[in-house]
Structure 1
Amino acid sequence: MKILLIVLLVVVALLVLNIVRIVMQNTTVPTLGHDNGQLKPLSKKPNAVSTQAADEERRVRTWPFKADLASTRAAILEAVKAYGGAEVVTEADDYIYVVFTTAKMHYHDDVEFYLDNEAQQVHFRSASRAGYSDLGLNRQRYEKLTELYGQ
C-alpha cells in the first residue's frame, strides 16, 4: 500500500510539473519581428508554419499584395478580425503581430505578417507557444486566413 501511495504521489507531481511548464510556455511572449525581411526561424517543434520555413513540410505560400501597401494591411486586419479570437499587438507599415487564443484551452499562438512592399508579397509565420504539436492548427489557421484575405 505504501509503494502504491508513493507511485501515485510521483505521478501527481509529474502532472503538476507538466501543467506548470505548459502555463509558463503559454504566458512567455517570444522575441519576434523581422530583420531585413526575414521573420524569426521556426523552432524544431512541429507546431508552426511559415512562408520562410526551411522545412518544406512547414512552409506555406506567400500572399500577393492587394492594390497597395495600405489596402494589403487593411485586408490582413479584416481577415484577422473575421477569423476571431485575436488581439493585434503590433501594427506597423510593413509588419503586423497578432496573438490568437484558442477557444477551449486558451493557448496563445503568435502570428506575424511581414508586408514586403518591394516583392509585393505578404510573408506569414504562425507558431504555438505551448506544447510540442499543434495537431495542424497553425496550418488550418493559415488556410482560413488565406481564404478570408482572398475575399
Structure 2
Amino acid sequence: MVFAGKRPNNLGVSNGKLASCPNSPNCVSSQSLDTVHQIAPLNFTSTPEQAITKLKNIIQSLPKTKIISENGDYIYAEFKSALLGFVDDVEFYLDRNANVIQVRSASRLGQSDLGVNRKRIETIRAKLK
C-alpha cells in the first residue's frame, strides 16, 4: 500500500457533474471538454436500473477492485494496480436526462498513467455491451 495515496475529498456528483480532472494526463472523464481527458460516456439499451446493476456486477468482477460507496445512480470504486498498488478512483453516474452513464477515472498519484484509466473504461464499456 506504499502508493495508495489519500482518498480524494472532491468526489461525488454535484449539480449533475462529476469532479473535473486535474491538469495531469492521468485522468479521463466523460464530462471533460478537453481532448486529453475526454472519453465517451457509457451507453446502455436496458432500463437504467438494469444498467446500473450490470455495471456493478462488472466492477465487482474486475481484479483488485473495491466498491467504496454506491447511492442510487452513483458508484464509486477504487482500482489497485497489480504491481505497486497504485490506486485509481473511478466514478460512475447514471445520468437519467442524457440516458448515459457518466464516468471519471483518475490516478491518485503521479503524472502519467500510461493510458490505464482510458483502457479501464473501454474494458468496462465492452463488457457493458
**Which range moved further: 123-132 or 73-82?**
73-82
In the alignment, what sits opposite 1:27? 5
User: Is the contact made by 1:48 and 1:125 (CA closer than 8 Å) also made in structure 2?
Assistant: yes
**Which range moved further: 51-60 or 137-146?**
51-60
User: Any gaps of 5 or more consecutive residues in structure 2?
Assistant: none
User: Any gaps of 5 or more consecutive residues in structure 1?
Assistant: 1-22
How much identity, in percent, do the aligned residues show? 35
The partner residue of 1:104 within 83, 95, 101 is 83
User: Is the contact made by 2:60 and 2:67 (CA closer than 8 Å) also made in structure 1?
Assistant: no
User: Is the contact made by 1:82 and 1:148 (CA closer than 8 Å) also made in structure 2?
Assistant: no
User: Is the contact made by 1:83 and 1:145 (CA closer than 8 Å) also made in structure 2?
Assistant: no
User: Is the contact made by 2:55 and 2:128 (CA closer than 8 Å) also made in structure 1?
Assistant: yes
What does the per-residue CA deviation read over 1:53-76, in whole Å, with 9 as the maximum and x for residues that have no partner?
A: 121132111112342222111111
The partner residue of 1:144 within 116, 123, 126 is 123
In the alignment, what sits opposite 2:34? 55
In the alignment, what sits opposite 2:20? 41
Tell me the TM-score normalised to structure 2 length: 0.92
User: Is the contact made by 2:67 and 2:76 (CA closer than 8 Å) also made in structure 1?
Assistant: yes
Determine which structure has the larger helix proportion and give its number. 1
Aligned pairs for 1:70-81 (under 5 A) are 70-81=49-60
Q: 2: CA distance between counterparts of 1:57 and 1:121? A: 21
Structure 2 counterpart of 1:56, one-letter code? T
Tell me the TM-score normalised to structure 1 length: 0.79
In the alignment, what sits opposite 2:72? 93
Q: 1: CA distance between counterparts of 2:127 and 2:59? A: 8
Q: 2: CA distance between counterparts of 1:44 and 1:38? A: 17
**Greater relative contact order (Cα < 8 A, sep 6+):** 2
Could you say what the CA RMSD is over the residues aligned between the two structures, in angstroms? 1.3
What does the per-residue CA deviation read over 1:20-45, in whole Å, with 9 as the maximum and x for residues that have no partner?
A: xxx5x733110200111110000000
